[in-house]
Amino acid sequence: MNHQPLSVAVPWSLSHYIPLNGFHPLYRSLFDQAPPSVELHAWDNVKLHNRFGRDIEIRDIVLRAANEENSKLKKLGDQSIEKAYQEYFWPPNHALMDGLAGDIEFHHTAPYPSLKRPFVFHCESFTSIFLPFAQQGSGEFKNHEKLRDHYRQIFENPLCLGIFSHIPETLESISRFFASTDIDRKLFSSKIGLSLKAIADQDIPEKYSLSRPTFLFVNSANQNPANFFRRGGHIVLRFWKEFIITNGRDGLLMLRCTKPSDEDLRDYGVDASFMKDETGRSIIWAEDYLANHEINALMASAHFFLLPSSSLHSVSIMQAMTLGTIPVVTDTVGTAVYLEDEQHGIVLRGVRAAIWYIDENTGILVDRYGKTPSLDDSLVAQMTNRIFSLLDTNDAYQQMRSRAMAHARQRFSGDAFSQDFWNAVLVLYKSHKESTSTHDPLPNKTAHSLQDCILQGDGWARVFEGVTQPRKKIYTGQSQSTVWELGGAVIHAHGNPVMELSDWSVFARYFNPEAPETTFANTLGELGGKYLSLREDIRGDAKRWARYRQYLAHRLIGFISRALMPYPELHSFVARMLKRLRNKSNSEPEFELVLQGVSGYNVLRYFHKFYAIPQSEGAFVPDKARSGGYSSSYSGNTADKVLRKIGNAAKEAIQAAPNKDDSMSPHLVIDGFLGFNIIRFGGEFYAILKNEGAFEYDKILSKGYSKSFSGYSISEVQEAISMNVSTQEAVAFELKSKEKQAGV
């Protein structure tokens, strides 16, 4: 134990952690300042994406594990909390979590442990533990008895080593809700603190003159635009009218958030016309997402950080005090952990009394969000009076600022938080090992194969400073491309797909055929400009690269041949070796794409057998085809047999159609596109050469045309023609068509 570091699995890059804020800055110091006795492992989504894209074997291993978990899921009762919980967890996440190396797991906010190895859990809010079954601010716990039973099993499990929180009310609520002595023994109070790396510049600049004070409002740590009113943005704007108009003062208000609509602002008592008049003068809106160092710069330049919020906003409060900015906050649950009123900042009263109460069913403290006009009026008045008093009293601001900075250095040390937490975890794990006779699990094949896909070096900073909720970065049009930013990666998809929670997983397209095909990269540059094209055609790109490589190889061989001409024996030897290599490379591969786009299917050869799978359902996985994992598929010993099966199925579908409208008859859509006619038939589009007669579906299936293309849209077919037919060929096709029409 003293010689081998404790290995900790951190599954925060899995898709179910997205609504839980993934690599939340509240926990960054546990990573940046972890002691040498702790090794931390988390997946690097970009590395995983690249590995799964090229390594079929490891992809199949993960897919089999995910399918096994899915089979277990289907056996659970449809209405049970357990099933809903496991569906949210998602089968591929089980497989990826199992494959992540570590002696123990570390979870935050809401527990989703594998229950196959020990775990520790840290949380700030009690309600968030039950995500997605309970939401902060809802004021109630539906099915609280079923929730208690389900989560009690998790926390009472011997693999749960400890439950930590820095908020006393959270630990009290956990104890009261579960009423379990086993769980009570696992409750621990923790410190909290900021990572040194989270405050980029330790030399805090001097503030500008208080004759024109600067105020800053940030809606949330994840900068979610939906949080404007919950964080008290409307209170800030109402205060600003009092500051500028009623009292005639001069100052600057900076708001880092998306600007709400005038209608929404009016609903919360904000003078929208005043806001419009002052925007660009005394009000500056920073609506785009800002990186951590940019928030630091804004915070350091401000005199006051305004946060009249309904809920706690830990990171921003610590950040403000560390950077010498006085926080103006409310008395919501948890604030007392961070500062004392009039000593380290301004605490506005009334929020706790107005929105927090004891739930009669559970006996725990819950909050209910909603419009509270009288409370809003009180908060605006308190903010105005308290800030004016501080500004108008000699040296009062500077004295409070000095106390706040000293308090932050003492209480919010990231190093102290990290050392205290990990030392406690090490003790718990040692005790667990001594009290159990279980042996260490056998090495996980997936973990060994993917060990180079974990975060390393600068990767930790990238994920902690990246957006914790998906944010659209580039959108080039409905039929073109979208690029999102999430968790330190950029994610590209064609078009503008509706993304489900699980779709953000790097494994989504392999497990769910309907998931959008995505590309993960560290930077936009790594995407290679694919978001600029009308529609990326992977196979077309592959063909172009293959031709280019062929050209380079031909040039290289010619150069070597000319260089060796003066040495006949050496030239002959190299020629023989080259011939052997060519013969070897031309041997039959185990996998081959035979036909593309036949009635929506791709036909492939895998060793001696042929398969047809839907074009829209991702890459070909042999086990998936054999086990019926595709929505439909066909197989046979020859390609012709498979084509006949596709044709028969298509005919049956046409005959079985209740309304045989004209979509089941061929219709000419475009006459003569680069020598091809484009025909619509049965909901698809087909292109055949103009000089090869009328369209016949059977002839398409039997490859009776010399060239043909198909797709689900006209543009898709046109692009396929453009990428596979040269200008010279198109001219030749057109001439042949005209000759045929002229009877030549």
Residue type for position 302: A
CATH topology of domain 6-193+415-443: Rossmann fold (3.40.50)
Q: Is the pLDDT of residue 731 over 60?
A: no
pLDDT tens string 106-119: 999 999 999 999 99
User: Which pLDDT value is given to residue 528?
Assistant: 75
Q: What are the phi and psi torsion angles at 359 (to 5°)? A: -70, 125
Domain locations along the chain: 6-193+415-443, 196-411, 466-536, 662-742
Q: Is the pLDDT of residue 259 over 50?
A: yes
Q: What is the mean pLDDT of the chain?
A: 83
Q: Is the pLDDT of residue 584 over 50?
A: no
DSSP structural state of residue 341: B
Is pLDDT larger for residue 358 or for residue 716?
Answer: 358
Which of 199-208, 556-565, 607-616, 689-698 is predicted least confidently? 556-565
User: How many other β-carbons are positioned within 10 Å of the β-carbon of residue 586?
Assistant: 8
**Nearest C-alpha neighbor of 173 from the set 156, 153, 148, 203:** 148
Is pLDDT larger for residue 480 or for residue 234?
Answer: 234
**How large is the angle between the packed helices 538-564 and 714-724, nearest 10 degrees?**
10
Nearest-10 Cα torsion for 635, 636, 641, 644: -20
- Confidence class for position 676, pLDDT limits 50, 70, 90: confident
**Nearest C-alpha neighbor of 511 from the set 14, 165, 21:** 14
In order of 348, 561, 562, the CA distances from 566 in angstroms are 91, 10, 8
CB 320 within 8 A of CB 327: yes
Q: What is the mean pLDDT of residues 359-376?
A: 88
CA 150 to chain centre: 27
**How buried is 601 (Cβ within 10 angstroms: 0-12 exposed, 13-18 middle, 19+ buried)?**
buried
Provide the residue count of the chain.
744
User: Which pLDDT value is given to residue 655?
Assistant: 58
User: Which pLDDT value is given to residue 534?
Assistant: 41
- Confidence class for position 543, pLDDT limits 50, 70, 90: very low
pLDDT tens string 33-61: 999 999 999 999 999 999 998 888 898 89
pLDDT tens string 296-336: 888 888 999 999 999 998 999 999 999 999 999 999 999 99
* CATH code given to domain 196-411: 3.40.50.2000
pLDDT tens string 162-180: 999 999 999 999 999 999 9
Is pLDDT larger for residue 292 or for residue 129?
Answer: 129
Cα angle 558-563-569, degrees, rounded to a multiple of 5: 105
In order of 149, 544, 557, 637, 640, the CA distances from 552 in angstroms are 66, 12, 9, 37, 36
> With left for phi above 0 and alpha for psi between -120 and 50, is residue 568 left, alpha or beta?
alpha
- Look at the alpha carbons of 280, 282, 288, 292 in this order and tell me if their dihedral is positive or negative: positive
User: Which pLDDT value is given to residue 91?
Assistant: 93
In order of 187, 244, 275, 389, 637, the CA distances from 282 in angstroms are 48, 8, 9, 21, 76
Q: Is the pLDDT of residue 26 over 80?
A: yes
The set of residues, in sequence order, having a beta carbon less than 8 Å from that of 231 and lying 6+ positions away, is 217, 218, 219, 220, 257, 307, 308, 309, 310, 313
**Widest distance between CA atoms in the chain:** 102
Question: What share of the chain in percent tops pLDDT 90?
Answer: 43
* 406-411 own/partner pairs: CB under 8 Å, 24+ apart: 407/321, 407/339, 407/343, 407/344, 408/318, 408/321, 408/322, 409/322, 411/193, 411/338
**Nearest C-alpha neighbor of 215 from the set 126, 134, 265, 278:** 278
User: Which pLDDT value is given to residue 541?
Assistant: 46
- Confidence class for position 723, pLDDT limits 50, 70, 90: low
- The three-class DSSP label of residue 479 is coil
Q: What is the mean pLDDT of residues 443-458?
A: 77
Question: What share of the chain in percent tops pLDDT 70?
Answer: 79
Q: Is the pLDDT of residue 660 over 90?
A: no
Task: Tell me the range of 15-24, 201-210, 439-448, 495-504 where mean pLDDT is highest.
Answer: 495-504
Residue 615 CA to residue 716 CA, distance in Å, equals 13
Q: What is the mean pLDDT of residues 687-697?
A: 84
Q: Is the bond preceding 132 in cis, omega lying within 30 degrees of 0?
A: yes
Name the pairing type of β-strands 708-711 and 684-689.
Answer: antiparallel
User: Which pLDDT value is given to residue 646?
Assistant: 78
Q: What is the mean pLDDT of residues 523-530?
A: 79
In order of 6, 107, 441, 716, the CA distances from 118 in angstroms are 12, 11, 12, 51
Tokens of 502: 């699980």
Q: Same CATH fold, 196-411 and 6-193+415-443? A: yes
Q: What is the mean pLDDT of residues 449-465?
A: 88
The set of residues, in sequence order, having a beta carbon less than 8 Å from that of 467 and lying 6+ positions away, is 222, 223, 289, 485, 486, 487
Q: Is the pLDDT of residue 540 over 50?
A: no
Residue 500 CA to residue 707 CA, distance in Å, equals 39
User: Which pLDDT value is given to residue 652?
Assistant: 66
Beta bridge partners of 492: 483, 519
pLDDT tens string 599-658: 667 788 776 678 888 876 767 777 777 777 787 888 887 777 787 787 777 666 655 554
- Confidence class for position 586, pLDDT limits 50, 70, 90: very low
User: How many other β-carbons are positioned within 10 Å of the β-carbon of residue 547?
Assistant: 10
CB 682 within 8 A of CB 654: yes
User: Which pLDDT value is given to residue 161?
Assistant: 97
Residue 453 CA to residue 459 CA, distance in Å, equals 11
Residue 637 CA to residue 45 CA, distance in Å, equals 39
Residue 123 CA to residue 187 CA, distance in Å, equals 11
User: Which pLDDT value is given to residue 556?
Assistant: 64
User: Which pLDDT value is given to residue 143?
Assistant: 82
Task: Tell me the range of 322-331, 495-504, 679-688 where mean pLDDT is highest.
Answer: 322-331
User: Which pLDDT value is given to residue 22?
Assistant: 84
- Confidence class for position 582, pLDDT limits 50, 70, 90: low
